[in-house]
Structure 1
Amino acid sequence: MIASVNITEHRLANGLRVVLSEDHNTPVAAVNIWYDVGSRHEGPGQTGLTHMFCKLMFYGSASVAGNGHFELVQGAGGSLNATTSFERANFFETVPAHHLELALWLEADRMGSLLAAIGDTEMDWARDVCVNERRQRYDNVPYGTGFEKLTAMVYPEGHPYHHTPIGSDADRNAVTLEQVRAYFRTYYTPDNAVLCVVGDIDTDQTLAWIEKYFGSISSPGRRPTRRDGSLPDLIGRELREAVEDYVPSRAVMAAYRLPRDGKRACDAADLALTILGGGESSRLYNRLVRRDRIAVTAGFGLLRLSGAPCLGWLDVKASGHASTNALEAAVDDELIRFATDGPTPDELERAQAQLEREWLDRLATVAGRADELCRFAVLFGDPQLVWSALGNVLTITPGEVRAVAARYLVRNNRAVLTYEPYWDS
């Protein structure tokens, strides 16, 4: 059973928090380090800095030149990557268990010595990579900037979540090398990180390696006060923007403010969105795609956030020449009906089973478990909460789901983005 896996917690003298979990079912080990830094920490003119470090951390450190981090891990039969979000940056490897020391040394080397390898050449390379990624994933993709536009509407100007992690090219081009170095010295430090190792490990030996490689890295002991992400529960009015673009069909996207992650109401909202738009058995898909045939896809998802209201993300693409007004009318009709009648017992049971399967899938691998342990440690202060998260979801009642829908999935609590293709103008 996954829940029988032991977790031990340790803290080095420099503040690094360590979470270890032995699992001898497979001869692999997952190393995952979360830094408590994300786009919410970026000040004016510095958007995209965290994402830039997602690239720079793989471009060499004092002891590992160029692409050496990838070459060493992949040469040992492992896999690796990194991601950034509004609330954290994480770097991770999964390696054969007998190569665990290598993975730990690599992570420690870039935490402790990355600045020695960052110069103008590395900065120019990272800028180019991020600019190309933005073009490929956002600017030159149909509907690619939709989420960015909605985020900016739901979280007002000046709010730490107003901009998305990808940031702007203008800020990336303007930031100086010294600003980048100062950002690293502030946030990519032992006292601002959680290191989790899960898998076929010996706890004592692993801790000894961590002390050996990470123990001498210094921490600043202070950093800027985190900007407040608080907002009213409801937006208070409907925000709208119409976009005319080179897109294949009309579309309606919307974002709703929802309760913060870690609250019971957030789990209720997750179930509501799953019932309404979580796959081809959902209410919106059955109504708009199957019955009315005015859409080719209709989905509803949840972006969980711990430092600000969560975001409920609606995405509907039109079929044929169906109008955006028809799409919105059908969506609103289903939301009103759901807020009035709520989920049926069968719908709630299916949604809970769907979220349970997804949760267990994440915990079934050592890499997924390491990531979740880091998440609960960084965002909620306690990795042991990983074991109670599913139980909270499974005890939500139909009344709680209905109440969340009635309060939050309403017109005066959303930003709406409509797309019209150029060929219709």
Structure 2
Amino acid sequence: MSRRIFDPIRWARIFALAAVTVPVTSAAAAPAPSIQGEPPSLSIEKTRLANGLEVILHEDHRTPIVTTNVWYHVGSKDEPSGRNGFAHLFEHLMFQGSKHVPEDAYFRFLERVGATDVNGTTSTDRTNYYETVPKNRLNLALWLESDRMGFLLSHVDELTFTGQRDVVKNERRQNYENAPYGLVVQYIYERLYPVGHPYHFLTIGTPRDLDAASLEDVKSFFRTWYAPNNATLVIAGDFDRTKTLELVEKYFGPIPSGALPARAPVPPVTLAKEVRLDVAAGVELPRVYITWPTPPMFAPGDGDLDLLSHVLSSGKTSRLYKKLVYDLQIAADISASQDSSQLGSTFEIVATAQPGHTAQELLKAIDEELALVRSGGVKSEELARAKTSVLSGLTFSLERTASRADRINLYNQYMGDPRYLAKDLARYEQATASSVQDVARRYLPADKRIVTVVTPEKGAPVAGRLKGGS
């Protein structure tokens, strides 16, 4: 096990300094920031209990706190047909209580000992739960996590189930159904990912499927996926290795493993032509979404597309912001992002029009700028700024123990290697203007994408109503 501690502040300062020293007067004279000396790494030890639970230890004795971070390798992509929203529902149920933890006592127990960063999240690919506690309260965090892993179903009853189902439905109403442009992403995903694809539905769930679910359905989902051999526990911070492993064995060791279903391979999504979606919404301003299917997280091209998104829309000097917002003044806002996931990703550009302008104007200006990137590439100083932004952002995020624990779990699930940090940084550092231009040509073609135009219409739902597609 490596004992060297990665100092995120030191590395972030290196990248920030590189941005300051990059000249902008000459493209040929603008070197990209680079990592000097030995690549950074985190102290990592990985082991496995007899029941299949992966345990990853990251020691850092600089601050007397410890983070526990559990990833269950199940997300909305694993939900059975007609049961969309189960993974997200369990994010809520797992905090309500378990056999030895009374209803709504989970947060109360942790608050009493000064815990921070207590929460859970759900994505298409995984569900995670985490808390940061003072080092002398690690046993409490481990006991709570083990009790809900092993004994949740001893507590969940019809009242708890229906109550949390209503909470999830209300969350959907608040964030999607009653939010401006809120359902547009659903229409895009339903068109991009065909019926039967694991990403066809949003993680939040659908009211129809949630209403149709029974308590037994929910229990069956838990028994299938919430087993120790489908989970990884990361412990990061100031702890004693030997005592911690003894606690992990004590609390998690007796939990029996489960029989995990086989996951069928999923072919990559492609588009044979441009698809147009027409959405009417009770909003003030038109908006355009341009969406392409792109490579999965950490696959070749993923990092370059991430850098390209920064070149296009990160900061007021970025290409699309400068052209549409500052020069032409036709856009109120614009963003570009590479949204990476396990089975495939999406590159998406979203622009909202200024009053008096149309989505078609936005699309035309965006297409002109993308054509310039495909034909002429990006300037070396643009790439340098993008690298600095990505690399410093990643390293600064690792200042917190909780962020490091989550990043380790991310590397472990997606790459099978919790020590992937140096390689993650290197994929950005090694990108070139040529490789960024290549992904723009290859993955962002003008004739194979989804273009979604949102038009203001009185009486239409504020979240949007799909009028048609072609």
Residue 95 of structure 1 aligns with an amino acid whose one-letter code is V
Residue 291 of structure 2 aligns with an amino acid whose one-letter code is A
Once the two structures are overlaid, the 10-residue window that deviates more, 139-148 or 407-416, is 407-416
TM-score by length of 1: 0.97
Residue 83 of structure 1 aligns with an amino acid whose one-letter code is T
Once the two structures are overlaid, the 10-residue window that deviates more, 1-10 or 172-181, is 1-10
Pair 1:237–1:195, CA change in 2 (3 A): same
Residue 172 of structure 2 aligns with an amino acid whose one-letter code is R
Pair 1:384–1:109, CA change in 2 (3 A): same
Answering whether residue 138 of structure 2 is matched by residue 126 of structure 1, we say no
After the TM superposition, which segments of 4 or more aligned residues of structure 1 sit over 6 Å from their partners? none
SS in structure 2 opposite 1:388? helix
Match of 2:115 in 1: 78
> What does the per-residue CA deviation read over 1:119-151, in whole Å, with 9 as the maximum and x for residues that have no partner?
110111111100110011000000111222211
SS in structure 2 opposite 1:384? coil
Q: State the distance in 1 between where 2:101 and 2:458 align.
A: 52
Q: State the distance in 2 between where 1:411 and 1:242 align.
A: 18
Match of 2:51 in 1: 14
Residue-pair matches, total: 422
Task: Assess if the C-alpha contact under 8 Å between 1:48 and 1:165 holds in 2.
Answer: yes
Residue 50 of structure 2 aligns with an amino acid whose one-letter code is A
Answering whether residue 177 of structure 2 is matched by residue 139 of structure 1, we say yes
Match of 2:436 in 1: 401
Pair 1:326–1:424, CA change in 2 (3 A): farther
Match of 2:125 in 1: 87
Task: Assess if the C-alpha contact under 8 Å between 2:184 and 2:279 holds in 1.
Answer: no
Match of 2:296 among 250, 253, 260: 260
Task: Assess if the C-alpha contact under 8 Å between 1:77 and 1:95 holds in 2.
Answer: yes
> What does the per-residue CA deviation read over 1:225-248, in whole Å, with 9 as the maximum and x for residues that have no partner?
22433225x412111211111112
Deviation at 1:380, TM superposition (A): 1.6
Match of 1:230 among 264, 267, 270: 267
Match of 1:239 in 2: 275
Q: State the distance in 2 between where 1:95 and 1:280 align.
A: 40
Match of 1:315 in 2: 350
Q: Which runs of 5+ in 1 are unaligned?
A: none
**How does 1:225-304 map onto structure 2 within 5 Å?**
225-232=262-269, 234-304=270-340
Q: State the distance in 2 between where 1:36 and 1:303 align.
A: 19
Match of 1:372 among 374, 395, 407: 407
Q: State the distance in 2 between where 1:6 and 1:89 align.
A: 24
Structure with greater contact order relative to length (CA < 8 Å, sep ≥ 6):
2
Q: State the distance in 1 between where 2:459 and 2:355 align.
A: 12
% identical equivalent positions:
36
Match of 1:350 in 2: 385
Q: State the distance in 1 between where 2:392 and 2:363 align.
A: 31
**How does 1:141-180 map onto structure 2 within 5 Å?**
141-180=179-218
SS in structure 2 opposite 1:411? coil
Task: Assess if the C-alpha contact under 8 Å between 1:28 and 1:95 holds in 2.
Answer: yes
Match of 2:92 in 1: 55
> What does the per-residue CA deviation read over 1:9-67, in whole Å, with 9 as the maximum and x for residues that have no partner?
11000000000011011111111000100011012101000000000001110011111
Q: State the distance in 2 between where 1:65 and 1:9 align.
A: 33
Task: Assess if the C-alpha contact under 8 Å between 1:161 and 1:229 holds in 2.
Answer: no
Task: Assess if the C-alpha contact under 8 Å between 1:245 and 1:421 holds in 2.
Answer: yes
Q: State the distance in 2 between where 1:229 and 1:70 align.
A: 38
Match of 2:155 in 1: 117
Residue 393 of structure 1 aligns with an amino acid whose one-letter code is Y
Task: Assess if the C-alpha contact under 8 Å between 1:300 and 1:313 holds in 2.
Answer: yes
Deviation at 1:279, TM superposition (A): 3.4
Task: Assess if the C-alpha contact under 8 Å between 2:42 and 2:421 holds in 1.
Answer: no
SS in structure 2 opposite 1:231? coil
Deviation at 1:5, TM superposition (A): 3.7
Once the two structures are overlaid, the 10-residue window that deviates more, 279-288 or 297-306, is 279-288
Residue 15 of structure 1 aligns with an amino acid whose one-letter code is G
> What does the per-residue CA deviation read over 1:230-270, in whole Å, with 9 as the maximum and x for residues that have no partner?
225x4121112111111121000121111121223111111
* Cα root mean square deviation, aligned: 1.4
SS in structure 1 opposite 2:419? helix
SS in structure 1 opposite 2:52? coil
Match of 2:35 in 1: none
> What does the per-residue CA deviation read over 1:67-123, in whole Å, with 9 as the maximum and x for residues that have no partner?
111111112111200000010000000111111110010000000000111111011
Task: Assess if the C-alpha contact under 8 Å between 2:282 and 2:459 holds in 1.
Answer: no
Q: State the distance in 1 between where 2:454 and 2:419 align.
A: 44
Q: State the distance in 1 between where 2:42 and 2:66 align.
A: 14
Task: Assess if the C-alpha contact under 8 Å between 1:257 and 1:413 holds in 2.
Answer: no
Q: State the distance in 1 between where 2:448 and 2:49 align.
A: 45
**How does 1:174-189 map onto structure 2 within 5 Å?**
174-189=212-227
TM-score by length of 2: 0.88
Task: Assess if the C-alpha contact under 8 Å between 1:24 and 1:201 holds in 2.
Answer: yes
Match of 2:69 in 1: 32
SS in structure 1 opposite 2:74? coil
Q: State the distance in 1 between where 2:170 and 2:315 align.
A: 31
Q: State the distance in 1 between where 2:459 and 2:334 align.
A: 22
Q: State the distance in 2 between where 1:147 and 1:366 align.
A: 33
Task: Assess if the C-alpha contact under 8 Å between 1:81 and 1:93 holds in 2.
Answer: yes
Deviation at 1:4, TM superposition (A): 5.2
Answering whether residue 256 of structure 2 is matched by residue 211 of structure 1, we say no
Task: Assess if the C-alpha contact under 8 Å between 2:297 and 2:414 holds in 1.
Answer: no
> What does the per-residue CA deviation read over 1:204-235, in whole Å, with 9 as the maximum and x for residues that have no partner?
11111110000000011x22222433225x41
Residue 242 of structure 2 aligns with an amino acid whose one-letter code is D
Task: Assess if the C-alpha contact under 8 Å between 1:299 and 1:315 holds in 2.
Answer: yes
Match of 2:368 in 1: 333
Q: State the distance in 2 between where 1:423 and 1:282 align.
A: 34
Q: State the distance in 1 between where 2:143 and 2:352 align.
A: 47
Say which structure is richer in helix. Answer: 1
**How does 1:383-422 map onto structure 2 within 5 Å?**
383-422=418-457
Residue 187 of structure 1 aligns with an amino acid whose one-letter code is W
Deviation at 1:186, TM superposition (A): 0.8
SS in structure 2 opposite 1:364? coil
Residue 73 of structure 2 aligns with an amino acid whose one-letter code is D
